[in-house]
A = this chain, B = another copy of it.
Amino acid sequence: MTAVTGDDEALTTPDLALRRARELHERDGTCAMLGITLLDAGPGRADVAMQLSDTMVNGHGTAHGGFLFLLADAAFAFACNTHGPVTVAQSAQVTFLRPARPGDDLRAEARERARSGRTGVYDVTVRRPADGTVVAEFRGQSCTLRQRDT
């Protein structure tokens, strides 16, 4: 009856979750284009990293918020697909807390917060590991499209 819980979940071992995230990352043209690396993943979680390039700026000279969102969204996508079924972002919200700048190494850490039926809620923190500051806080709502096929 439920779309994503039950027996499938019992099969989402840490190894399987990491394998699923890696496969999705390998097929992700955006991650290849922007140099987003997958650092780690487990059931309902994923960590990614990206270095802000000189061109990723807005007209004010700071990092374009769109790339901060995109990095968080990438972590979110890997985290919510670790369970197996094809899962997509339905909506997301982001709060920008501090400006980031070209050259900054950023990390986004996605963690599952809740799931019910086909809906999941994930929190993603975007931080600059060099000094530990939080750059942005993201929350995404996922929707499972169909049962997993692996």
Is B60 within 8 A of A88, CB to CB? yes
Task: State the majority secondary structure of interface residues on A.
Answer: mixed
Is B70's CB under 8 angstroms from A97's CB? Answer: no
Bound: A70/B67 CA distance, A: 7
User: Is there contact, CB below 8 Å, between A28 and B59?
Assistant: yes
Partner of A90, one of B57, B71, B96: B96
Binding site for B on A (CB under 8 A): 1, 3, 23-30, 32-33, 54-61, 64-67, 69-71, 73-74, 77, 81, 86, 88-98, 113-114, 116, 119, 121, 123, 125, 132-134, 137, 139, 141
Query: Looking at the complex, which one of B27, B73, B95, B119 makes contact with A59 (CB distance below 8 Å)?
Result: B27
Knowing A59-B24, A89-B65, the reply to whether A95 touches B141 (Cβ < 8 A) is yes
Shortest beta-carbon distance from A90 to chain B in Å: 6
B29:A56 contact, CB within 8 angstroms: yes
Contacts of A73 in B (CB 8 A): 64-66, 69
Which residues from B are CB-within-8-Å of A58? 24, 28-30, 74, 77
Q: A138 to nearest B CB, angstroms? A: 10
